[in-house]
A and B are shown apart, each in its own frame.
Chain A
Amino acid sequence: MLSRVAHNLFWMSRHIERAENTARLVDVNLQLLLDVHNLNDRTVAAYWLPVVQSTGDEELFLQLHTKATGRTVTEFLVFQPLNPNSIVSCIAQARENARTVRDQLTLEVWEALNRLYLMLQSPRARELWRESPQEFFDEIKSGSLHLQGLTDATVVRNEGWYFVQTARFLERADKTSRLLDLRHASVPARGAPAGAEPSQTDALAWSAVLRSCSAWDAYKALHGAEVQPALVAEFLLLSEGFPRSVRFCVQQLNLALRGISGVAENRFGNEAERLCGRLLAELQFSTAADVFDCGLHAYVDQLQAKLNAIGEALFQTYILQAFRLQSDDELRQQEEQQQQ
């Protein structure tokens, strides 16, 4: 497979996963706020700013908006074209990635992505969002899930498919860890949270974290309706079977990496495989106590650094060797000049 093609498939998949996670994040937090009493500017900001922080784009947000409110945060995370990680930007980039490797995609996958893109570009997107935010986010989430289903159901398990999987699980692991980090301020910097029941506001906030990961039902089935931050963290980081837990994602990432190279699971053929295998072993043999000994925020920070390192190593191994840097404008101009 051409390195450039692998690169585009990877980013197509990653952008779609990112958009879906952002949709879930904004949707859940908009709904949650309906349950919070005595809101004033300060509490609203205290509530929304961590949401922006979790996407890592706080600086840009503060350049564009003075206050963090439901409206500004939604605008920024959903529609803002200047934010490369807004839902609209992500889907546009995914679609552009797909367009440059159009020949590698099945017709079904391409059409579904193109349709989602056209919907978001049309005036209907804002109309729907105004009329019913929930329906709007549902459409994006189901668009993404539809695409994943189509990919699973129509794409041959070849190298390209494994690159798509790699990107999906790398992004999902990263996003789950970021969502978990969202309310780290309500637990001690180090050591396990006190056994006492969390305040009602905290409980709501932590349940929102679960919902943002579509983990509410799975968590309840395991631990009952009482939301304990320690249990939430354990569930989202270390659960073996929940498909959005970090451990599960890293497990799948590890398989996908080996799908690309054909190297056996207990060995490694490149740096990405080595780092991923090591991280997986850590997650497999860690407990909630290990996490809180380190401190939730610090643990999540290290985890994200490890995930980034895997992505970087993957890029070095398969993609970078193939690219010369070129000025995009120059390229574009000459592409347009070709008489057809």
Chain B
Amino acid sequence: MPTATDSAQNETTCSGTGAAAPATPSGPFRSYDTQGYFDEMLDPSGGPRPHYARFAQRLTGMSRTEFEAKRRAVDLAFMRQGITFNVYGDSRGTERIFPFDLVPRIIPAAEWAYLETGLIQRITALNLFLHDIYHDQHIIRDGTIPAEYVFSAKHFRREFVNFPVPRDIYIHICGTDIIRDAAGKYLVLEDNGRCPSGVSYVLENRRAIKRTFPESFEENGVRPVEHYPAELLKLLKYIAPAGIADPTVVLLTPGAFNSAYFEHTYLARQMGIEIVEGRDLLVRDQHVYMRTTKGLQPVHVIYRRIDDDFIDPLVFRHDSALGVPGLINAYRAGHVSLANSVGTGVADDKVMYCFVPRMIKYYLDQEPILPNVPTYLASEEADRRYIVEHLPELVVKAANEAGGYGMLMGPQAAAAEREEFRRRIEAEPRNYIAQPVVRLSRHPTGHEDGFAGRHVDLRPFILYGEKTVVVPGGLTRVALRPGSLVVNSSQGGGSKDTWVLYGSE
């Protein structure tokens, strides 16, 4: 058997590198059309790229029915395990599985090494930036970033200026969204430095794919991701208040109606820590306790999955029923640590995103490894004029929204919609940015009659603690609707497993 497979692979690899490119590709990709996009799997000649050769071979040897059967088995397993997200606005509390596509996205070792270095550079600069703007504000005083942009950021927390966060870390857990353009160049789309979600799908997708393609998994040499919960727990213990030998770590969830609730319980279980709601905690004498059947027990580190605004009704939103009154006081007193820190939202602001390359130069004296998508700021006079005049070619985004909300896709939008956005931009320029439409790379994705190209992005998860850990791969999100560029789960997106290889093929 091994010999047969080997020779088959060599053939595919050869055609993939173009040595003897066949005029028409065979197998499941016979009628596949890349339509001029950068395809992650297939090169322009239609053959698989070297790092996909083995997997393409596996797909060729599989009938359509066999593939369908595997797909159905995975969907059923996800439903049974309750790996679902909540659909909002549905009183019956409908849960859906996050659609999972069986064809994995594969990244060769060298490409990953490049991404990893770029991500580490970026999170390091972001943390230095946050520390700076909450302390001496050098970057503002030197005029590198205009003061008004920082101070007008919706999530800038004045209350925390000069507050020493544990170990000087602001963003402990970051999910950075990366895309590839028509030339295959990697670009950073946004940083999620508040409560990035999706890592549970990385872990569950991997489990599912291991069961589905055990052989492929072995023969490709895929780097594991299972250590994420252990690394996360290590990080959370690292930031515990000084002098606590064996800190109690908890995960603070908004509750079972939150869309990411599955992820919260999943991570808590994997780390072996309690998952708590705000009402399970109380503060006495600036110490945080949880209410247990045996009375009150101290809590030292909180991995919170609640927004700043809701975390403490005494400090932020007074009507918050999810938070813990007095928590911020305990945090300021240094008796409890929070991850991520309060006030990191300023780095999620899409206007601030525009300045990340400057931050990298300013704090690290390095050239940015991973470039940004070119961005126009509506609050800059010249940019605004350009945006308004070129709306049909641009993507307009609200500076502080997530989940694909508050967005205008210029080319697809109706004239009335564009007009509406033009008005909003003129009224509130600080709140809008625009970017050229990036021709997102595509990936073969299963659908009714075979495989079709669908746009993808990548969200790697970065843990910034004693050392910085990037779990190899991340969540590949895929826009399942034909032609759609929006990959968010709330907007018809699905996901793929992401394989980072030990080697290059």
Binding site for B on A (CB under 8 A): 1-6, 96, 99-100, 102-103, 107, 110-111, 114-115, 118, 159, 260, 318-319, 321-324, 326-327, 330-332, 334-340
Contact = CB atoms under 8 A, between A and B. Distances in A.
Contacts of B194: 339
Nearest to B81: A111
Contacts, number: 113
A331 B322 contact: yes
B98 to A, nearest CB: 12
B258 A338 contact: yes
A96 B256 contact: yes
B305 A6 contact: no
B280 A334 contact: no
B260 A340 contact: yes
Contacts of A331: 255, 257, 321-322
B321 A334 contact: yes
Contacts of A321: 291
B339 interface: no
Contacts of A332: 255, 257
B432 interface: no
A335 B403 contact: no
A124 to B, nearest CB: 14
A110 B294 CA distance: 26
B146 interface: no
Contacts of A96: 256
Contacts of A326: 279, 321
Interface stretch (B235-243, B267-275, B361-369): B267-275
B226 interface: no
A159 B295 CA distance: 14
B307 interface: yes
Interface residues of B, number: 45
B80 A115 contact: yes
Contact of B197 (A110, A118, A340): A340
Contact of B305 (A103, A118, A340): A340
Interface in B400-415: 402-403
B310 A334 contact: yes
Nearest to A318: B293
Dominant SS at the B interface?
loop
Given A103-B269, A322-B280, A335 B258 contact: yes
Interface string B239-281: 0000000000000001111111111011011000011110110
Nearest to B251: A103
Contacts of B79: 118
A338 B305 contact: yes
A110 B306 CA distance: 25
Nearest to B306: A338
A1 B294 CA distance: 7
A56 to B, nearest CB: 26
Given A2-B280, A99-B82, A102-B82, A335 B293 contact: no
A49 B314 CA distance: 54
Contacts of B276: 2
B279 A324 contact: yes
Given A114-B82, A335-B322, A99 B269 contact: no
A330 B279 CA distance: 14
A340 B255 contact: no
A332 B290 CA distance: 21
A22 to B, nearest CB: 23
B486 interface: no
A319 B277 CA distance: 15
B292 A340 contact: no
By Cβ-Cβ distance, the 3 closest A-B pairs, closest first, are: A322-B291, A102-B265, A103-B269
7 contacts: A1-B294, A6-B293, A159-B293, A322-B280, A324-B279, A331-B322, A338-B322
A264 to B, nearest CB: 18
A1 B86 CA distance: 27
A339 B403 contact: yes
Contact of A339 (B261, B293, B307, B320): B307
B226 to A, nearest CB: 15
A299 to B, nearest CB: 33
Given A2-B274, A100-B256, A114 B81 contact: yes
A16 B290 CA distance: 28
B306 to A, nearest CB: 6
A114 B256 CA distance: 15
A111 B195 contact: no
Chain A CB within 10 A, most for which of B195, B260, B265, B290: B265
Given A321-B291, A335-B256, A336-B88, A4 B277 contact: yes
